[in-house]
Structure 1
Amino acid sequence: MQDMFNAQQAQNYIDRINNLTPFSTGNWGKMTVDQMLAHCNVTYEMVYEPQKHKAPGGIAKFILKTFVKAKVVGEKSYPKNSPTSPQFIVTKPQDFILEKKRLIGFIQKTQQMGREAFDGKESFSFGKLKAQEWNNMFAKHLNHHLEQFGV
């Protein structure tokens, strides 16, 4: 698993994103490339723009922490066509250039803030996470979708 807090490794993700074009097609799934970029931005919005999303209620958060957290923050890759939370579903066309810029900006901001800023930081859905759990969540989600689009 690459380290999103390491400048060179974060740049690897940015380089892969820069290899996408508005005409890139997925090897699986239903999303277009612009929708995928917007979908990947949701993870970062929940950190940097939480007002855009409704926080899960007590029962939902308990279920997420108990049954979903380990799959999201662990090191095992997501299988193709994995189910996603309704907050992450993007069905309308998006602005490819805008979503790409936003995603790169979020990656850069995360890397620059560093591991220490995320150690013990409260997650929107899973409670406090260790820096490595944040890293795993960011890295494997991006990797999953970049592989989906062949970069």
Structure 2
Amino acid sequence: MDKTIRNTTLFLALAMPFPALAAPIHAIMYKNPSCSCCETYAAYLEKNGFEVEMKPSNDLTQISTAAGVPEQLQGCHTIKVDGYIIDGFVPVDIVRKMLTERPAITGIALPGMPMGSPGMGGSKTEPFTVYAFTTDGQAPTVYAVE
């Protein structure tokens, strides 16, 4: 190979930026200490680009209420991520939608423990309705249906 071509090739290789490695999205999960489905959900999030710090707590209701999660939407874990709250087994695509769109809400929740949702066993038998909530006293609204 000609020396000029080799030097040009080397220059171009070094001048091109390396693809940025996406840093994991840090999330803090407050969970009931005896709930193994929460750990399964955390593993699901980690498999999808999140870094989950688990904080077992026997005061989950207090934590969820303080985070602004309406009582009817509270589940077995509450997650704080990038300024938002996630409660329940919300599919990762809906979490990413919220983090991308950045709506003026406190967070999202999938109430109950629906079969087939991430972290829960079984097959999905009905659509998952994920609700958005705020801390201004307004009723939760449907954020997404999957």
TM-score, scaled to structure 2: 0.23
Name the one with the larger strand percent.
Answer: 2
Larger Rg: 2
TM-score, scaled to structure 1: 0.22
Name the one with the larger helix percent.
Answer: 1
